[in-house]
Chains A and B, each alone.
Chain A
Amino acid sequence: GESVGLHLPTLSVQEGDNSIINCAYSNSASDYFIWYKQESGKGPQFIIDIRSNMDKRQGQRVTVLLNKTVKHLSLQIAATQPGDSAVYFCAETFQGAQKLVFGQGTRLTINP
């Protein structure tokens, strides 16, 4: 059976540095990947997405990289700010699916 209360992976960075949050996925059929940000006391919020026909996509201060060969996804946050403190989730889906599958999440902590 499943257990609860497992330790959440944590990443600590200095304010102003760049952050890289990694995610591994397992379903080779997945062709659409998304990052969500969850601030304390709130529900997750969509940040950025990428389709499998791309290997990089940029947003405002965020970049998502996709490596399909090793089934790896990363979220890069430039010049990390205190407001970036949150839990970040990757999610995957495929065409025709009606649901997302989420990763376990990574807690990003910003040091002043």
Chain B
Amino acid sequence: DVKVTQSSRYLVKRTGEKVFLECVQDMDHENMFWYRQDPGLGLRLIYFSYDVKMKEKGDIPEGYSVSREKKERFSLILESASTNQTSMYLCASSPTDRVEKLFFGSGTQLSVL
């Protein structure tokens, strides 16, 4: 069974902390994505990557950075967490030729206090 695995289901961090959210996929997909999900706002794209060491800004990249050192792993970094970054974070992957067919992880609910 194909899988996108996010390292934590729940995280609680303090304002100003550096936060790492990890995502691993086992489908050999080229594309990987980070979304945040807030009620009534749908899924908003933070960053995506279409190849190792490549990254592209999404719609709301401010306050975030990413790292893709290996094809299967895509990390989201909050350099200095703030309370408005409290949210559900979803990682997804897709093959190059089927960018519309995303496979999502179960999400990480991050609370910044």
Given known A41-B106, A98-B50, A98-B56, contact A6–B100 (CB-CB < 8 A): no
Given known A44-B102, A45-B104, A99-B99, contact A89–B56 (CB-CB < 8 A): no
Q: Which residues of B contact A16 (CB under 8 A)?
A: none
Q: Which of B44, B84, B100 contacts A93 (CB 8 A)?
A: B100
Q: Which of A42, A98, A103 contacts B42 (CB 8 A)?
A: A103
Q: Which residues of A contact B103 (CB under 8 A)?
A: 46
B 70-113 contacts with A by CB, 8 A: 84, 87, 90, 92, 99-107
Instruction: Determine whether the beta carbon of A99 is less than 8 Å from that of B33.
Output: yes
Instruction: Determine whether the beta carbon of B43 is less than 8 Å from that of A7.
Output: no
Q: Is B41 an interface residue (CB 8 A)?
A: yes
Q: Which residues of A contact B41 (CB under 8 A)?
A: 2, 4, 6, 104
Q: Is A29 an interface residue (CB 8 A)?
A: no
| Cα(A24)–Cα(B48), bound, Å | 25
Given known A43-B105, A89-B42, contact A100–B100 (CB-CB < 8 A): yes
Instruction: Determine whether the beta carbon of B99 is less than 8 Å from that of A91.
Output: no
| Cα(A65)–Cα(B59), bound, Å | 28
Q: Is A70 an interface residue (CB 8 A)?
A: no
Given known A98-B48, A98-B50, A99-B33, contact A46–B102 (CB-CB < 8 A): yes
Given known A5-B38, A43-B92, A99-B48, contact A49–B100 (CB-CB < 8 A): yes
A47 → B minimal CB distance (Å): 11
Q: Which residues of A contact B87 (CB under 8 A)?
A: 4
| Cα(A101)–Cα(B4), bound, Å | 20
Q: Which residues of A contact B58 (CB under 8 A)?
A: 99
Q: Which of A2, A32, A43 contacts B100 (CB 8 A)?
A: A32
A1 → B minimal CB distance (Å): 9
A 93-112 contacts with B by CB, 8 A: 93, 97-105
Q: Is A34 an interface residue (CB 8 A)?
A: yes
- B interface with A by C-beta (< 8 Å): 4, 31, 33, 35, 38-45, 48, 50, 56, 58, 84, 87, 90, 92, 99-107
